[in-house]
Structure 1
Amino acid sequence: MAKIFIGKYEGSIYPEGKGYTGALWLGYRPNGKPNRPKRKGRTKDEVKDKLKKLVNELESGIKSPENYTVADAVHDWLSKGLKGRDPKTITTNRILAETHVIPLIGKAKLKDLRADDVDEWLDGLTDKLSTRSLRGVHAILKRSIRQAQARDMVIRNVAELVTTPKGKAGRPSKALTLHQATAVLEKAESSRLHAYVVISLMTGIRTEEARALRWDHVVAWVEDATGWRPVTDVGFDHEKFALYVWRSVRAHGDTKTEKSRRTLELPKRAAEALRKHHTRQAAQKLRAGKAWQNNNLVFCSPTGTPLDAANVRRAFRLITKKAGIGEKWTPRELRHSFVSIMSDSGVPIENIADLCGHSSTAVTEEVYRHQLKPVITKGAEAINAVFGQSKSA
């Protein structure tokens, strides 16, 4: 039996069976029995390497389970790390994890995972996922390992040492021209989505804000009372109307940012669309009878339940198809169209940012750079005129 020292620990390596066994002397356990953890291997060097790893674990206070895999870490995070999150967020993370993380990198032992493994895994997804989705799957791995770290299952988080690559290019958002928007509004008149389309196009509210809009947040200006009052109290027999854009379908019902909370006066055509929609919804409520769920939502299903985003997308594609502009449009592009039409009409970007609920014009410029009309053209026009004349002369 050969005695060895690994750091401050005394140990021994000796032949056993068809290989070797190594043991460290760690004193006595609380019950009085010797504390001699063992490692086995085919050669002395293999056993010595395992004992060194054991010492590292002892000194770091972390003991990595031999068979704890990346899939185990992800499953643990899905079950424990998403408590209190929005159900939609939980579902999205679970789908991404079960589709792109667990099947592709889940078999690797967490203690053996290297940054190169993570790089190779992400690079293999660049032609399948968008950059946003790649960030999502990378975040799942990072958070799963971070939770394992907190539970002393692994020493370091190699996923945080890797930069998310760029994914495949997604379909760029587009905006309706004024002619197309007019055609869409016309064809939407026969749809249950008519008022939804009108409000989205003429106020620029987000789809998540439209689906969460309540009737007590549709208000009318009452001259002889206290100003803005809910139409549920005072009706539609007034001149001015507005929306309190204070809610969304996000977790806890909050808008995207604090600046997103805003009050928007309604154009006359939008107010008229809401008035007709309110009348139709009252008739719908009578038809539904006891099946009606009174959620006070402006836009809802035939039984009063919240609208499903996928159903809204399908209904909107039918409208754009009837309008002769094809089916490759989404409801969120009504907001892009609003920005484009405002910009083409000469509305300053500062006003557009306020209408959209952006924290600054920089956000508007970044998100809607393709929809904003270039406004600094006077200098170039003057130079072209001057030098164009000189060249002619």
Structure 2
Amino acid sequence: MRTGRPRTPIGTHGAINTRRDRGRVVAETRVRDLDGRLRQVRAAAPTAAAARTRLMERIRERPSLPSAGVLRPTSSFAELADLWLADLDLRDLAGNTKESYRTCLRLHVRPTFEHYALAEVTTGRVEWFLAKQATVSASQARQTRTLLNMLFGYALRHDALARNPVEGTSQLRRAKATPRALTLTQIAAIRGAAATWRSEPGLPGPKPDGQVRDIIEVLLGTAMRPGEVLALRPCDIEDLPTGMIASVTGTVVHLRGSGAERQDRPKTDASVRRIPVPEFAAAVLRRRIAAMPSHARTRTIFASRTGSPLSPYNVRRTFREFLHLAGLGGSGISLRWFRRTGATVIARGIGTDAAAAFLGHASTVITEGHYIEPDRAVDLTPADHLERTLRPAQADGSLLTTPPADREGDLLASVDRESDDDAVA
């Protein structure tokens, strides 16, 4: 049986001894490095206290050794941020996603941590920061937590830290709220406001072109994300004898410095889908496409006067004016509510799984992608329910007044958790 002094744990050191050597004080100890070997470490200074301090600084640097990584525990958070941003540029992510990360880092994370060394960013400091963020915005706190987790995960992979300080922080609580769909009364009020907005005689500036009014109809009829509607092109539309089919193949995003751009990939892989369009929304798309030049099949249907994609910011600003005109200015209604409303109608009409697939959520995508041969046929039933419930004339609101479908609350909550795919701060 082995007896004697226990082995020094990796990354720790033994007792520190000091001695005088030619007018200076030398502090020294033995450190067990990451390769398991004990090595002598020493530091000299004019006083014993200064020598011990300098020795501890050298010891704190050693966990990254014998790695040849570019980061160490003594590296600044700013160095980590710069390296991570360079790595972000190489990753296969949507442009607006990258810009969202950069903005969060620049506005919230970097100002708080840039003067710390990596070893000084403790779980307690991260906990305090996230708690402070949560008092401002729960969604902002979740975004900053995700970003910090990626940053320190990067540092961990480069052997600059022994553990990720974000992992021990408390889970951020989500505000409990019941997502609601629009009522037929609210929809009628918004439609009425959209039809009369800026129609008074003598108003300065150009007359409204009706694009935001038509966007609302397409949002109601398809339950798409706003960016997906703005990205629709004539080549994405199939007008068949059985009804119109729209292919979701992209989204419009707002990029800093370049404005609105069509991105040839929607929010997620699951978002690539073909969906039926009810007749009231199909009529809007047919009219818009008919007014476009025949050579513009790859241009977005909703566009600026120069032919570029319509700005999501301008659409939201005009929509807020519709709400004010409709007497709904303080209601909290946003464009997201149209997606909720479509999800509610389909969930109560044919089930939550069908609604999730229609919305482009990933709930059924894994099964379909790996175990079921792709079926190019499109089920027209969701469009039938949306047409009957949300058409401008003789709408039947019975589905909106029936009890919620099974797991409908989870479906609508997932809609509310979606970040705006068309907005970059």
TM-score, normalised relative to structure 2:
0.64
- Structure 1 residue aligned with 2:223: 204
Q: Quick one: which amino acid aligns to residue 39 of structure 1?
A: A
Q: Quick one: which amino acid aligns to residue 127 of structure 1?
A: T
- Structure 2 residue aligned with 1:180: 186
Q: How far does residue 270 in structure 1 lie from its aligned partner after superposition?
A: 1.4
Q: Whole-Å Cα distance in 2 between the matches of residues 339 and 65 of structure 1?
A: 49
Paired residue for 2:337, among 328, 333, 336? 333
Distance 1:73 1:171, change over 3 A: farther
Q: Whole-Å Cα distance in 1 between the matches of residues 232 and 155 of structure 2?
A: 41
Q: Quick one: which amino acid aligns to residue 276 of structure 2?
A: E
Q: How does 1:1-393 map to 2 (within 5 A)?
A: 13-14=19-20, 20-22=25-27, 39-40=43-44, 44=48, 47-48=51-52, 50-51=54-55, 54=58, 57-58=61-62, 60-61=65-66, 68-84=75-91, 85-130=93-138, 132-166=139-173, 169=175, 174-189=180-195, 191-221=210-240, 240-249=243-252, 253-282=264-293, 295-326=298-329, 328-342=332-346, 346-360=349-363, 365-368=409-412
Q: Whole-Å Cα distance in 2 between the matches of residues 165 and 350 of structure 1?
A: 28
- Structure 1 residue aligned with 2:381: none
Q: Whole-Å Cα distance in 2 between the matches of residues 370 and 154 of structure 1?
A: 35
Q: How far does residue 370 in structure 1 lie from its aligned partner after superposition?
A: 11
Q: How far does residue 160 in structure 1 lie from its aligned partner after superposition?
A: 2.8
Distance 1:16 1:180, change over 3 A: farther
Q: Whole-Å Cα distance in 1 between the matches of residues 413 and 96 of structure 2?
A: 29
- Structure 2 residue aligned with 1:389: none
Q: How far does residue 50 in structure 1 lie from its aligned partner after superposition?
A: 5.0
- Confirm or deny: 8 A CA contact 1:61 1:152 kept in the other structure: no
Q: Whole-Å Cα distance in 2 between the matches of residues 42 and 174 of structure 1?
A: 70
- Confirm or deny: 8 A CA contact 2:72 2:159 kept in the other structure: no
Q: How far does residue 201 in structure 1 lie from its aligned partner after superposition?
A: 0.3
Q: Secondary structure at the match of 1:81?
A: helix
- Confirm or deny: 8 A CA contact 1:215 1:297 kept in the other structure: yes
Q: Deviations over 1:74-115 (max 9, x none)?
A: 233223334344332232222222222222232222123322
Distance 1:178 1:151, change over 3 A: same
- Confirm or deny: 8 A CA contact 1:246 1:254 kept in the other structure: yes
Distance 1:349 1:147, change over 3 A: closer
Q: Secondary structure at the match of 1:166?
A: coil
Q: Quick one: which amino acid aligns to residue 310 of structure 2?
A: L
Q: Whole-Å Cα distance in 1 between the matches of residues 223 and 26 of structure 2?
A: 72
Moved more, 254-263 or 332-341: 254-263
Q: Quick one: which amino acid aligns to residue 161 of structure 1?
A: G
Q: How far does residue 332 in structure 1 lie from its aligned partner after superposition?
A: 1.9
Q: Whole-Å Cα distance in 2 between the matches of residues 188 and 357 of structure 1?
A: 28
Q: How far does residue 369 in structure 1 lie from its aligned partner after superposition?
A: 5.9
Q: Secondary structure at the match of 1:158?
A: coil
Distance 1:92 1:147, change over 3 A: same
Q: Deviations over 1:121-174 (max 9, x none)?
A: 2222221122x321221232232233334444444332333234337x498754
Distance 1:300 1:149, change over 3 A: same
Q: Whole-Å Cα distance in 1 between the matches of residues 408 and 267 of structure 2?
A: 14
Moved more, 325-334 or 250-259: 250-259
Q: How far does residue 333 in structure 1 lie from its aligned partner after superposition?
A: 1.4
Q: Whole-Å Cα distance in 1 between the matches of residues 359 and 302 of structure 2?
A: 20
- Confirm or deny: 8 A CA contact 2:14 2:29 kept in the other structure: no
Q: Quick one: which amino acid aligns to residue 183 of structure 2?
A: T
Distance 1:300 1:146, change over 3 A: same
Q: Quick one: which amino acid aligns to residue 21 of structure 1?
A: V
Q: Quick one: which amino acid aligns to residue 214 of structure 2?
A: A
Q: Quick one: which amino acid aligns to residue 191 of structure 2?
A: L
Q: Quick one: which amino acid aligns to residue 184 of structure 2?
A: L
TM-score, normalised relative to structure 1:
0.69
Q: Whole-Å Cα distance in 2 between the matches of residues 92 and 146 of structure 1?
A: 19
In the alignment, structure 2 segments of 5+ residues that lack a partner are 1-11, 32-38, 197-209, 254-261, 365-405, 416-425
Q: Whole-Å Cα distance in 2 between the matches of residues 330 and 170 of structure 1?
A: 19
Q: How far does residue 214 in structure 1 lie from its aligned partner after superposition?
A: 1.5
Q: How far does residue 261 in structure 1 lie from its aligned partner after superposition?
A: 3.3
Q: Whole-Å Cα distance in 1 between the matches of residues 353 and 280 of structure 2?
A: 24
Moved more, 204-213 or 142-151: 142-151
CA RMSD of aligned residues (A): 4.1
In the alignment, structure 1 segments of 5+ residues that lack a partner are 1-5, 27-34, 223-238, 286-292, 372-393
- What is the percentage of aligned positions where both structures have the same residue? 22
- Confirm or deny: 8 A CA contact 1:194 1:273 kept in the other structure: no
Q: How far does residue 36 in structure 1 lie from its aligned partner after superposition?
A: 9.4
